[in-house]
């Protein structure tokens, strides 16, 4: 097996030695990973939250992020009133990001969840009403519903058809985030980028109760059906990027949707009942919610359908499987199982430092360059 990070070759037994079998830790959602903020963070608001928040305490997490979100929202409104549009944009965007952090771990049973999410939406919309957005807001038809999406045009000559990378998010995926939502590295390399609030994500889950299906190729088909209608998209150069739970959804989509020409995933997965549900118990209730199950018992049965067992060999496009040896959320052995069983991929490789543990900047650029090569961009 080739490890593309440095060209080392190792067999299964050696590979197992690299994969740290982390244990699930107490907490809610993914709190123990994401609540470990640095008190030395350069942003004063984030640094303040890091110093005040009570770790493993969801009430404290929501309170602290909501307070800094409200502060930034009030500042943004003042800048807007003074006609300082760019500054207002930046502060509304900060407020939206802080509301996103406040809501991301809130369970469906919390009455504050939906109002907080609507605050996120409101501030994101206000931010981009101040300046010309670099994306198009689109609605993708899906089985009688509309999936909200942001389409970021790539850099290229006017009238040129460019490749596109479609992002399939994870269990805490929320479409409305940041200045470029992770799209910039693709746009700068001559690729379009589309991010979608699919079933089980963001407002699609919270407002419309559309749940994640195990046969996620249905979602991918809807997105690609939309993409191929665009005059600026090359229908023969479509890539799919998956992260976290999308580390299952991306490869699963490629087993059926052959218009996908390349797949790269953060935290590759093979069989979600093993790779995340049993491996990381604190996330079980979130998975229950996004699948639409009424109990953890029902959720464990449902998630057994989220598997690539007997399917991975149907992946027939290039595949880059990311993992982190210190991943405490997704079992890195799932990434290895995916790699080993995708025997019909013409170009498959593994990449360390791509998961819930290590999140190295150079890995983001590596993946963008990988898509650039596979989709012949630039």
Residue 359 has what pLDDT?
58
Look at 148 and 378; give whichever has higher pLDDT: 148
Which of 28-32, 99-103, 287-291 shows the lowest mean pLDDT across its residues?
A: 28-32
Domain residue ranges in the chain = 2-28+134-374, 35-130
Which of 130-144, 223-237, 244-258, 318-332 shows the lowest mean pLDDT across its residues?
A: 318-332
Question: Which class is 2-28+134-374 in CATH?
Answer: alpha beta
Q: Do domains 2-28+134-374 and 35-130 have the same CATH topology?
A: no
CATH number of this structure's domain 35-130, picked from the four choices 1.20.1440.110, 3.30.70.890, 2.60.200.20, 1.20.1250.20: 1.20.1440.110
CA atoms within 13 Å, Cβ hemisphere of 269: 32
Cβ neighbours of residue 184 closer than 8 Å, sequence gap 6 or more: none
Residue 61 has what pLDDT?
86
Residue found under tokens 């299906």: 213
Residue 10 has what pLDDT?
41
Cβ atoms within 10 Å, residue 14: 11
CA gap 118, 89 in Å, rounded:
18
Look at 222 and 46; give whichever has higher pLDDT: 222
Residue 201 has what pLDDT?
86
HEC profile of the chain = CEECCCCEECCHHHHHHHCCCCCCCCCCCCHHHHCCCCCCCCCHHHHHHHHHCCCCCHHHHHHHHHHHHHHHHHHHHHHHHCCCHHHHHHHHHHHHHHHHHHHCCCCCCCCCHHHHHHHHHHHHHHHHHHCCCCCEEEEEEECCEEEEEEEECCCCCCCCCEEEEEEECCCCCCCCCCCCCCCHHHHCCCCEEEEECCCCCHHHHHCCCCCCCCCCHHHHHHHHHHHCCCCCEEEEEEEEEEECCHHHHHHHHHHHCCCEEEEEEECCCCEHHHHHHCCCHHHHHHHHHHHCCCCHHHHHHHHCCCECCCCHHHCCCCEEEEECCCCCCCCHHHHHHHHHHCCCCCCEEEEECECCCCECHHHHHHHHHHHHHHCCCC
CB 280 within 8 A of CB 330: yes
Does the pLDDT of residue 21 top 80, yes or no?
no
Average pLDDT over residues 70-76: 98
pTM (predicted TM-score): 0.88
- Relative to beta strand 145-152, strand 136-142 is antiparallel
At 307, is the pLDDT very low, low, confident or very high (cuts 50, 70, 90)? very high
CA gap 50, 358 in Å, rounded:
20
Residue 27 has what pLDDT?
32
Residue 123 has what pLDDT?
97
What percent of the chain has a predicted confidence (pLDDT) above 90? 63
What is the per-residue pLDDT across 181-240, written as a single tens digit (0 to 9) for each?
A: 789 999 999 999 999 999 988 888 888 899 999 999 999 999 999 999 999 999 999 999
Does the pLDDT of residue 86 top 70, yes or no?
yes
């Amino acid at each position: 097996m080739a490890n593309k990070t440095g060209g080392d070759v190792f067999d299964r037994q050696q590979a197992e030695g690299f994969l740290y079998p982390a244990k699930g830790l107490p907490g809610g959602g993914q709190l123990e990973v994401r609540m470990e903020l640095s008190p030395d963070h350069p942003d004063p608001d984030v640094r303040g939250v890091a110093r005040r928040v009570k770790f493993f305490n969801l009430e404290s997490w929501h309170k602290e992020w909501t307070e800094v979100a409200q502060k930034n929202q009030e500042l943004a409104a003042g800048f807007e009133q003074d006609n300082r549009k760019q500054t207002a944009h930046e502060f509304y965007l900060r407020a939206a990001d802080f509301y996103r952090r406040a809501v991301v771990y809130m369970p469906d049973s919390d009455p504050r969840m939906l109002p907080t999410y609507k605050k996120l939406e409101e501030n994101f919309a206000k931010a981009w009403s101040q300046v010309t957005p670099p994306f198009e807001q689109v609605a993708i038809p899906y089985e009688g519903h509309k999936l909200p999406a942001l389409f970021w045009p790539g850099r290229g000559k006017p009238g040129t058809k460019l490749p596109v990378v479609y992002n399939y998010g994870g269990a805490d995926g929320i479409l409305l985030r940041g200045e470029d939502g992770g799209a910039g590295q693709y746009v700068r390399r001559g690729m379009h980028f589309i991010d979608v609030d699919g079933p089980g994500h963001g407002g699609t889950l919270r407002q419309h109760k559309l749940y994640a299906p195990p046969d996620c190729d249905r979602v991918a088909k809807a997105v690609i059906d939309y993409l191929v209608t665009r005059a600026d998209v090359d229908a023969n150069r479509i890539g799919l990027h998956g992260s976290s739970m999308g580390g299952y959804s991306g490869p699963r989509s490629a087993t059926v949707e052959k218009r996908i020409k390349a797949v790269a995933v953060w935290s590759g997965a093979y069989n979600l009942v093993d790779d995340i549900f049993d491996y990381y118990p604190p996330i079980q209730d979130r998975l229950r919610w996004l699948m639409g199950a009424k109990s953890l018992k029902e959720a464990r049965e449902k998630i057994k359908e989220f598997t690539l067992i007997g399917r991975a060999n149907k992946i027939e496009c290039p595949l880059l499987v990311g993992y982190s040896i210190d991943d405490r959320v997704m079992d890195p052995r799932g990434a290895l199982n995916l790699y080993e069983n995708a025997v019909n991929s013409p170009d498959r490789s593994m990449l360390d430092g791509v998961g819930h543990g290590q999140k190295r900047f150079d890995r983001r650029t590596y993946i963008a360059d990988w898509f650039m090569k596979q989709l012949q961009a630039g």
